[in-house]
Structure 1
Amino acid sequence: MKFKILFAIPLFFFFSSCDDEADQEITIQPRKTEEKKAVDNTISTNFNENVFSSKDEAELLKELHLCDPKAKSDEDPKHPSCSPRFFRFFKLNDQTPLKDGFKLLIKAGVNGFPLRRLLVFEREKDVLVKLNGFNGNLIEERKSTSGYNDLVIRFPDNINDNITYYNCLFRWTNGKYEYVNCEVIDEDVPRRIKSEFKDSMGVEIKKVLDRNEMIF
């Protein structure tokens, strides 16, 4: 049985040297003034230990044609089964049932794509519609007055064969997630961007993300 590979896009750079951060544990030092909050909201995903909370997750993956329901093994990411070994679900918000909206983190290597991806869906007129796509790893959610958590997404970049990561903030605006700024640059050692430079550096990092098609 053939199944669709959705949301595959061309990328203009380097991924052969970008290992799946998934399966490495990355620790970002919390803000000193908000240490408890940062620790509480941090997300770390080990797909080898991931589990689904109900039967709904597998049914949603089948609906999106992201997996092969007849696959007999969960060891082949290029031909993924509908398994928590490859996919992790997060609620869209506290009010929306999972079947009607969710954030979906996909393991690197699934369907041949070299990076982790985060997709955001909401059901409209009985059809799941993709609101956002990110070629990056979800590392933090923060409570927001909008009812939709702010997201911190970690994106890789290749600068002269050195992998750099940008931890960037996205906020729910007008029915989807929009880029706000970048908070941390990680070149071997995470460095938090000073507040006075956030706006100017945020613009430049957004250009890099757009050029490399990290947001779609």
Structure 2
Amino acid sequence: MTTDRNDPVDWDAYESELSNPDTAAPVLVDSTPDLPFTAGPRSESRKPVLPGWLKSARTFKDTAKWAAGYAWHTFAFHLVRTPVYSGKLLVRSPVGLFRLVRGGFRWGFDMEGEPVRKAAVRREDAAEYLKLSAQRDNRVRLRVFLAMLGLVTCCCVSWWVLTIPAWQRFALLGLAMIGLGLLGAPADRPLLSRAVVTARVAKLTSDVVVRAP
């Protein structure tokens, strides 16, 4: 193919890449191609200083009315579904309690350092293993002391809760249930439902391509 001297694109190289896809380097879907700069200094488009809905009183009123309606719809949507959300939190709270206890146990006994200590044993590195074991013992002593202090504090708080009025006890119990329910929520199943479904399509990125099955 003949090319024009004034044409900045090498069409022969481009045609060669299309005919031999195995030799071409992979390109990410969200990468910016290296295009030649041919635009002049006055070819850019400037965005307005003020958005369009602030330039006239009528547009501002329409936008404010839409925003108020959107907020009211979202509030009413979630208010009606409060019993459903409460049921989800109640069901997920045991899982949250289990995760809390498991996380505290792993933190107290330094379980995050277990793979490193096992690797030192496999390498038969006695000096490294003794160093890691001493570090683990120091951590466990401090963390167990803090855990016992926290347990005593929880017992004192529980005794104090028994002395307050009933409505306050139920309020604290509800807060505890909410916290445990949020902690036990699955990552792929959010608590709140969508009040408004938009037709906007998510941007295709490299991470989306990697996560796709």
* TM-score in terms of structure 2 length: 0.20
Higher fraction of helix = 2
Name the larger-Rg structure.
2
Larger RCO, structures 1/2 (Cα 8 Å, 6+ apart): 2
* TM-score in terms of structure 1 length: 0.20
